[in-house]
Structure 1
Amino acid sequence: MPGHVNMMDDVLISQLPPNILKSSLRVLLSQHTTAQKLFVEHVRGQLSASPPKYSSPSELFGETPCYAEFLASVRCLFSSRMASESLPYLSHFVASIPLARARWQLNEKLEVALEQACGDIVQAIQALKESRPDATRELQERLLDLRTAIDECESYSASNNLQFLFGRAQLQVDDALWLIFPDISLIHSRRHSSQVTSRMAIEPDLDRYAKLEHVQLGPLKVPRIFNGLWQLSSPAWGSASLYKQHRAFEQLGDAELVYGAFRNQLPPKISANIVACSKWCVFRAPERSVSPEYVLEAVTERSRRLGGRVELLQFHWYDYSAKDYLRILLELVKITKSHPHLVRAIGLCNFDSEHTEEACQYLLRETGQVGIVSNQIQYSLIDTRPTIKMEVVCEKYGIKMLTYGTFCGGFLSEKWLDAHAPDIYSEQAQLTPSQRKYFDMIHNWGSWKDLQALLRTLKQIASKHNVDLANVAARWVLDRPAVGAVIAGTRAGISNNSESNLKVFSIKLDEQDTLQINHYAVGANRAEMLYRKIGDCGHEYQ
């Protein structure tokens, strides 16, 4: 009966503490896609009927500031698919900073809030781009107003010796203008804050480089640890300013935009040796026919966002029954020959074994060469599905696996040794989106008790080799057939495990170590069980 809520449920909802109510809602939405759709539609209706109020600059940043509450209301807008409607609020917020003569210092409350606001702009713009909006005059004005507000905040920051905190937002707004309004007059190559640029005069750490193992991916010689930047895609992993992210990159190595901005500020002798890999993910049927021009435009766009050549472009396809992906792969391989200044090598992303082989056979027939150098897939001590078929296919065609999830979202670390299982829907647990994902993988693989037994074994082996627990987990994957490199998730400017990750190259697992680990990783037919439950590598993304 529409409109009816069980009386006792209604009492429960009205009396529950907010933290339990939020946790309960997350459980409901995670289990029912219909409920998620109704939830968002209801929120949108409420916000449309009663939009958030604008607070004045003095209210936002005065003696009793309300910027936290204001930003919370703006997040509700863009998170409920009202990205365009959120832009005037974001412009107002940024424009209010110089009007209120706001000031901040490193790591104080206001600086953290402004970094989060920058992340909010990134999220809102990304949501806007993904919605494929019409290029209306109203939207153009909203984006330009936001751009102007950010520029004025940059000038205010520079003149008052304050760290400019909206560099990443600048990149995103410019990118949206470029994509949606390519004909407007706009500076196509962003200038960046002098506060960032002045710190890019760094020297290569040759001792660090010498510690790395390398692998050949077609024409590329690359380190066997990649810094994965998926975590830059959303503030849900935490927010940091562009300055802090660039400082982190000095040690480590939007992700395309942020990384492109960093690479183009490096001295030529360093930037020329950086291996920049990106993805082209097609999640739905293309809106135009697949042609050589269509594929070249996609490659050119990724090169633009990275600010230079893409060393490895990894391709993901939404539906294997739509065979256009074979034609696209053929064109991508051709472009590596005709436009080597744009892209050097082509890989796959989350392809299963059957269609990896199909693509290889197709390219062999058409060109006489495989042309594909890698497949980015999930592989860890918890998810050993690649041992069923993928290893054989990759070895047959000379493809290397680039593995993500190797640390299982951080669960394969000492932090979780002897820890209680977290409530993944509770805010108190402070889990990242990737940890929620990998927690589910753990329970497909076994139990929390099983994980603790594995962690104790890894800790014992790590102590024996004088390394960290996570190094042992990564070393086991690196030693598997056809594995080229592991991808270590990087929350640039927020956390840094680069020194620990390098220890993986200092250890060699002996036969006893491997047998102990195999008991948990592939023993008791765990790989076959996961394969039956979830499907082959990448099936969860189809």
Structure 2
Amino acid sequence: MTRVNDQHTRLSSDLRSALQIIDGDIVQAVQALKETKPDPLPDLERRLMNLIKELGHYKRVHDKRDSEDFEYPFRRGERQVNDVFKAIFPDLTPPLAKSQTKTPMLLNINTQSHFETFALGPYQFPRLLNGLWQLSSSSWGSGSDKRQEEELIRLVQSGFTAADMADHYGDAELVYANFRNRLSPSVRSQVLAATKWCVFTPLTQPLTSLFVLEKVKERYRRLGGRVELLQFDWYDYSCKDYLNILVELVRLTAIYPNLVSTIGLCNFDSEHTVEVCEYLIAKTGSVGIVSNQVQFSLIDSRPLQLMVNVCAKYGLKLLTYGSLCGGLLSAKWLGKAAPDIYSETLQLTPSQRKYHDMIMSWGTWQDFQSLLYELSAIADEHRVTLTNIATRWILQQPSVGALIVGTRLGVSNHVDDNLATFGFTLNAWDLDRIEALALGISRGKTRRLFSKLGDCGTEYRNEN
């Protein structure tokens, strides 16, 4: 419904939410189109042109209303459609809607906080990264462009100055680029981007230096500037092309440091991380890579079996995801019965369904409740939250550089709660109590999960 006030249209919250959902759906639909790698045929060109024109028409109608009550609702969708058009038809110019130039943002980063950082290549990264995986699906909710920008401002001002994203996380790179490139040069240089090049299927082009360079340029273009950390994910270890790709990527960091600065791995297991490091040493004279991103939590502690020692040997840092099991490792689930993961009323997120399966591989729901109760008791002793304890445990593990915290931009925020993670450390007694339940006696739970699922990232490989 709408209501009229002083000749301006004011929208109900329900209609605003509906328009935000439509905007998010445009982003996801166009992303899905992009991932099919369609041929640049005239019919597709015409359809995308028409969509861009329709969005442009709506933008012009919106601007004529001159209503402060109602921001343009399709900014994310418009940005995504134009970007995909450029990717599919690089030699054509889309009929861009006339856009207003946003003014530069003036903000300061709180350098007086106790936010922990660590060295990754030439940069000091924060030990909590903003994870933008949630932008890959509308299942986590859809925030407007304005709300997302407001949340990024608050995050950066609080010290959360780096974000993790990927080429397939919806419009994550575009959202971050739009924000970062409006910052003053002195602040922008401190706001870091970690993105990914993920190869999930066989290459369809010859592997050449130019091919690798073009893939890196695509990430640079989407981010509107330098990629501080490019993480490489590969689908099949039996195809050894990944070794030479990584050689080319490492060489690019030396040739074009303002294009891409450092290279990391994503979801590589211990055996193949060693293989990569030794191959790079043989071909380039140094390890070259700086990190590996893996799943690591009190539930999935497989990195403790082999990976942490591999990282220590080669000087790599672990960037961890899934460390709060999609929010299941929180007080919200303390004392709750095991959920029906496909319930229409409960509506678990895709991450929660995934990590519920991981919990069931690790132990029983009662085992999980026992762990939550112990974490809650320790949290009370430190006057923090249960999630702070689960986060702190990860940060105190060997070779861990940072934990990636899923950030539902424009939907919800936990800035103050996450900052509390840096106000304390877990002592030996805390660690013993936690690990007795999470890892099991003599790390029995860790070993059983490793035996059942394999090493880090094995569950994502084709051979499994």
| Unmatched tracts of structure 2, length 5 or more | 157-170
Q: Percent identity?
A: 49
Q: How far apart, in 1, do the equivalents of 2:194 and 2:359 lie?
A: 28
Who is 2:315 aligned against? 398
Distance 1:400 1:247 in 2: 31
Name the counterpart of 2:84: 176
Corresponding residue to 2:351 among 426, 434, 443: 434
Give secondary structure in 1 for the equivalent of 2:105.
coil
Match of 2:141 among 235, 238, 245: 238
Tell me, in whole angstroms, the C-alpha distance in 2 between the residues paired with 1:138 and 1:102: 39
Distance 2:394 2:252 in 1: 32
> Quick check: 1:418 aligned with 2:335?
yes
Partner of 1:302: 219
The corresponding residue for 2:125 is 222
C-alpha RMSD over aligned residues? 1.8
Where 2:290 maps in the other structure, the secondary structure is: strand
After superposition, where does 1:461-540 map in structure 2 within 5 Å? 461-524=378-441, 525-540=444-459
What is the aligned counterpart of 1:121 among 26, 33, 42? 26
In the TM superposition, residue 156 of structure 1 has moved relative to its aligned partner by 2.0
Offset, 1:103 = 4.4
Larger radius of gyration: 1
| CA drift at 1:104 | 4.6
Aligned to 2:48: 143
CA shift, 1:187, in A, is: 7.5
Match of 2:173 in 1: 256
Distance 2:331 2:135 in 1: 24
Equivalence for 1:112: 17
The within-5 A match list for 1:11-410 is 103-105=9-11, 108-160=13-65, 161=67, 162-186=70-94, 193=100, 197-198=102-103, 201-207=105-111, 210-253=113-156, 254-410=171-327
- Which deviates more from structure 2 when the two are superposed, residues 458-467 or residues 179-188? 179-188
Q: Which has the higher helix share?
A: 1
**Structure 2 contact 297–322 (Cα < 8 Å) conserved:** yes
| Kept after mapping to 1: 8 A contact 2:219/2:227 | yes
Amino acid at match of 2:448: M
State the distance in 2 between where 1:392 and 1:301 align.
34
Q: Within 2, Cα distance between the matches of 1:191 and 1:343?
A: 31
Shift in Å at residue 201 of structure 1?
2.6
For the Cα contact (< 8 Å) 2:231–2:266, is it kept in 1? yes
1:51 corresponds to: none
Mapped to 2, the partners of 1:223 and 1:206 lie a distance apart of 13
Q: Which residue of 2 aligns with 1:87?
A: none
How far has the Cα of 1:204 moved from its partner? 1.2
TM-score by length of 2: 0.91
Which has the larger share of strand? 2
- Runs of 4+ in structure 1 deviating by more than 6 angstroms, as ranges, are none
SS at match of 1:221: strand
1:159-198 residue CA offsets vs partner (Å, 9 max, x unmatched):
221211111101210111011111112379x98556xx35
Aligned partner of 2:159 in structure 1 is: none
Give the direction of change, closer, same or farther, for the CA distance of 1:192–1:415 in structure 2 (3 Å limit): farther
C-alpha contact 1:202 1:250 (8 A) present in aligned 2: no
| Distance verdict in 2 for CA 1:450–1:158, change over 3 Å | same
Contact 1:281 1:315 in 2 (8 A): yes
- List alignment gaps of at least 5 residues for structure 1: 1-60, 64-100
State the number of aligned residues: 439
Change (3 A) 1:104 1:123: farther
The answer to which of 438-447 and 264-273 deviates more is 264-273
Contact 1:212–1:505 (CA<8 Å) still a contact in 2?
yes
